[in-house]
Amino acid sequence: MSLPEIETDICVIGAGSGGLSVAAGAVQMGARVVLIEAGEMGGDCLNYGCVPSKALIAAAEKAQVVRRPRFGIAGTEPRVDFGAAKDHVRDVIAAIAPVDSQERFEGLGCTVIRAHARFTGPDRLEAGGRTVRARRFVVATGSSPLVPPIPGLDRVEALTNETIFDLRERPDHLVIIGGGNIGMEMAQAHRRLGCEVTVIEGATAMGKDDPEAAALVLRALRDEGVTIHENRKAERVSGGDGSVTVHTDAGDVTGSHLLVAVGRAVNVTDLGLDAAGVDHDRRGVKVGEDLRSVSNRRVYAVGDAAGGLQFTHVAGWHGGLVVRNACLGLPIRARTAHIPWCTYTAPELAQVGLTEAQAREAHGDRLKVLRAGFDENDRAVASGQRTGFVKVMAVGGKPVGATIVGAHAGELIAPWAMALANGLKLTAMTGTVLPYPTLSEASKRAAGSYYAPKLFDNPWVKRAVRLVQRIGR
């Protein structure tokens, strides 16, 4: 007996950050919503990405605090229970999971189908033996770890972010292919938990970030004992039980475990998009600035599936935009100039808008680069967190980008992200009174340096001040 066909307003494919944002927003605004997920509710971020990685980083940070002698407190080598650290990771996921659960979304009024979805036409798909017809579809399928075509890689046990958090025995020597944010975060975390770690990067490690800021991060990792090989191409992989060797163009690296962290592959290859008339390629669904398919206006794509920046917060933001458009008919534009990101190493590195190099290319002599070092910030000095700086790229009194490297950079980037999102001037920062002492004062100091020459090096200001002193009462 066939199951009855479902007719709905919005059908969401994928229960990660983007899909859940659409489903929760749309159903609470009165739309009929079907939510389809073949894997784990919460998607990559909750189960294999942001949440478990930050939980492991937190455990590693505690080990490092014990290890380092500071402030008159003796340091000692910590006794690390690697399995217990992974229990902490599981506990964190379990604590957050109810927010993303099937039960919660069914409670909100969504119809949840736990099966693989495949389009069978421009206005319908099949999932779990059901046919779903919808006025609007949202492809929110995210991405998976990219496994490069390195000879021999398929014949060894290679970890990815989807499997490394299940590893309960501490690796003696973790070899990581990939020097981006995931590779560097995992390198430092595992080193702090007692592993020997080697990173192999075919180009420049952290090459997408501001080079000056990235250099501080790489120096910190090397100082902690992480070996980082840059500009070394992994040509093949070999190994057996408990040993794996990465053969590079500049020598071999052998370890006990291998982590592949070279990027992400968008999950759009098995959705039947051709049957729906949805143009796509390996980067994702081809969409306009309104996140709608250029070839089938019934279909939206959000997050990684939209072919742009691959960040959880971008997917969530996309979801909110789609709700505005699909439910209220409001125009939307998914621009990216205000999108921040952060690498959660120690020191952290956060960026929003243009880097210095990008800003110089775009604005030339109009650009002013404003700086404030953490070594000049009283809170940073008092807490022993003097490594780092705030760098703001400004044009005509407005920020066009900000780079922060140092403690809590991911938190400190927030006002700059708000400034770029809302077109604020530097005066919004300089006119804000901040509590003393705080790390945030570094941002205010950087912003203030834009106006300092106009006030302190201007002969007309000095003449005006002298006049006021002569005639003032």
List pLDDT tens digits, range 107-138: 999 999 999 999 999 999 999 999 999 999 99
201 labeled binding residue: yes
41 labeled binding residue: no
Which helix H or strand E contains 390, and what residues bound it? strand 389-395
402: number of Cβ within 10 Å: 28
Judge if 6-41+101-144+265-328 and 153-263 fold alike in CATH terms. Answer: yes
List residues bridging with 8 in a β-sheet.
Answer: 134
CATH superfamily of 6-41+101-144+265-328: FAD/NAD(P)-binding domain (3.50.50.60)
Pairwise CA distance, residues 13 & 23, whole Å: 10
> What's the mean pLDDT in 201-210?
96
List pLDDT tens digits, range 405-458: 999 999 999 999 999 999 999 999 999 999 999 999 999 999 999 987 776 677
pLDDT at 464: 75
Inform me whether the pLDDT recorded for 372 exceeds 80: yes
* CATH fold group of domain 340-456: Enolase-like; domain 1 (3.30.390)
- List the chain domain ranges: 6-41+101-144+265-328, 153-263, 340-456
227 burial via Cβ count (<10 Å: 0-12, 13-18, 19+)? middle
179 labeled binding residue: yes
pLDDT at 454: 74
**Cα 199 to the center of its chain, rounded Å:** 20
303 labeled binding residue: no
pLDDT at 118: 97
pLDDT at 473: 65
> What's the mean pLDDT in 62-67?
95
pLDDT at 242: 87
Pairwise CA distance, residues 447 & 390, whole Å: 10
457 labeled binding residue: no
Q: How confident is the model at residue 2 (pLDDT cuts 50, 70, 90)?
A: low
Residues 6+ apart with CB under 8 A from 273: 119, 139, 280, 285
141 labeled binding residue: yes
243 labeled binding residue: no
83 labeled binding residue: no
CATH superfamily of 153-263: FAD/NAD(P)-binding domain (3.50.50.60)
Q: What are the CA-CA distances from residue 260 to residues 148, 196, 253, 344 (Å)?
A: 9, 16, 14, 18
Q: How confident is the model at residue 465 (pLDDT cuts 50, 70, 90)?
A: confident
19 labeled binding residue: no
| 247: alpha, beta or left? (left if phi > 0; alpha if psi -120 to 50) | beta
